[in-house]
Structure 1
Amino acid sequence: MDAVSELKRLGLSGYEAKVYVALVAAGEPLVGYEVAKRSGVPRSTVYETLSKLVARSVAYEVRADSDQVAYIPAPPKTLFSRIRDETEEAIENLRSTLDNVTPKATVHYSHTLPSRDDILGRCRDLIVSASTDLLLIAFPEELAPLEPPLRRAYSSGVDVFVAGFGADGEQSYGQAFSHATAPADELAEDTGCRLFVLVADRQELVVAGFTDDGAWGAFTDDPAIVMMASEFARIDISIQEFIKRHAVEHVPQWRLESEAIRNMIRGGSRKPVSILRRLNGGRETSVTDGEIAGRTPENRKRRTPSEPRQTPGKKTNR
């Protein structure tokens, strides 16, 4: 890691960062020309840079044995603590000021998230800015990179509820609920992807689908859509907790016993996923009706026009 680059991110100029690193590395007071030699900062500029650091208490003037003015750095721990305190104070002041000048939203936004990085980055934004609660439905592959910001949000007082797919695991933040309706791989097969839903403060939403070779999703703050997603997450979590507390058995078998339910689950979920992928510019995957229903076109029973349909999903003219 480049210390100079990181110090620049904290607000120091390039020359200031180089001078500070040189002072820390020296381990003893340095006079101006020594600082210039060790830091690579031009001698004509180094004294001005040192004066700026002294003014900000990033460095201090001391008297060397020869009665020359020399310089020592503020201890890194002291500097970082000060920067953290000043940054947090500035953020709080800005939050209060901007809240007072921000008008009530009259326009709501939705936009696509065409890649895994875009989706997870937007999710981190929502998690960091959350103030009341977070509802999350995710597979382990997507939950893992979001755990650090989720943990920080929980530590700051945000309620975190996670419905996870796959094996039960220990979670050091919020409340975790494991899906008991079917194995994770079967659920992913039903939807054609690893389903992902994140609702922040019941006001913002990211919904997405992940596969081994791609991802696609969308963000919105439209109240109607967010409300629907919130209710979906709340009901989903409630169902999993009910199953767990009441030791409901044979739930996976129930999903497979009825062909009508099997067709509804697989046929009704793969199509929206296909549409969402296409809207995000992804490669369209053709799924036939027979494949959706778990049957091939060759062994699918043919029906005459007069024969009543035996499976749900009947099309009607509206």
Structure 2
Amino acid sequence: MRDNTRDYLNLFLDDIPLLDVRAPVEFSKGAFPNATNLALINDDERHQIGICYKQHGQQAAIDLGNTLVCGEERERRMLAWREWWQTHPQGYLYCFRGGLRSQTTQAWLREAGIDAPLITGGYKAMRNFLLEEMEKCIAALPFEILCGRTGCAKTRVIEAQPNALDLEGLAHHRGSAFGRRPGGQPSQIDFENALAIALIKMRASDYPTVLLEDESKLIGRCHLPFSLQDRIKSRPRIIINESLESRVQVTLEDYVAGPLEEYRQHFGDQQALKYLGDELLAAMDRIKKRLGGLRYQQLRQQLEEALAVQAINGETELHREWIHALLADYYDPMYDYMLAKREGNILFEGSRDEVSTFLNQRRG
């Protein structure tokens, strides 16, 4: 029989499966990447029990819980837990504070002959642990920052380096007004939890350096910790320089062709282009004020024409017109302004291929 644990570090380092028995509403507000939510009590039951607890005390709340979750409903939840445990025998369970709900679940499973150790302190203790460790990692890790104008394919370089941390991947967003992806973004808490775990794993890997893409304070709606923002501004930089035409091609691939394929996987061939077009037009609308009235109208018209041609024959070449103008007149000046505020020394500057070679050679 395994003991309960408070070894939060190794739970996250080893990707131990976690059984979260909190109510769905709690899970949706914040969870861990390796957690599965199979609640002891659902949202409505939790609400009723909470009222009972406030009015009549703990024992009355426990009695109400046993009344609400009994008979066939209890067996249904027990079956889900047993099936989960058969698939994840090395797992641990938890509730919010490691209290009554996880202890009740543990006791019920024990009656069924299943050893189900729980996490002492529950979700709250693990969340606090991750926040504390995240700040320690941000302060200590030897970050280097990969910079470059929009379309330089910084993310592709990041993905190819084992010592790199993909912030945009964690945020499920490409990092600009046009960067939304099918499926949406994680909640802020989920993003922070995933970021903290990734940082802890980077610290444990003991890489000489950790590569981050140059990001602003927001990746879509996900907010970077202030301490990480400060380090991104001050750490040594590696800069990718690519021609405008090369960056147009990459942008076409990453913001038109790539998302279209993702939409096909989510919505099928017939609806994919509609979703892509709606999202591109909405993104253009989001930067309307920054573009100015005339430039916005011109770019939106070019985008509408490109989408119309694509709908007829599948050709994407016309997208190059609005992408070219948007990069040259909007994103490039914005990037140059941001880069001027960075303080770190420049370690290397070159084309994407040259930067990749530089990074690979340094790793040996």
TM (norm. structure 1) is 0.28
Structure (1/2) with the larger strand percentage: 1
The answer to which structure, 1 or 2, has the higher relative contact order (CA under 8 A, 6+ apart) is 2
- Considering only CA atoms, is the larger Rg found in Structure 1 or Structure 2? 1
TM (norm. structure 2) is 0.25
Structure (1/2) with the larger helix percentage: 2
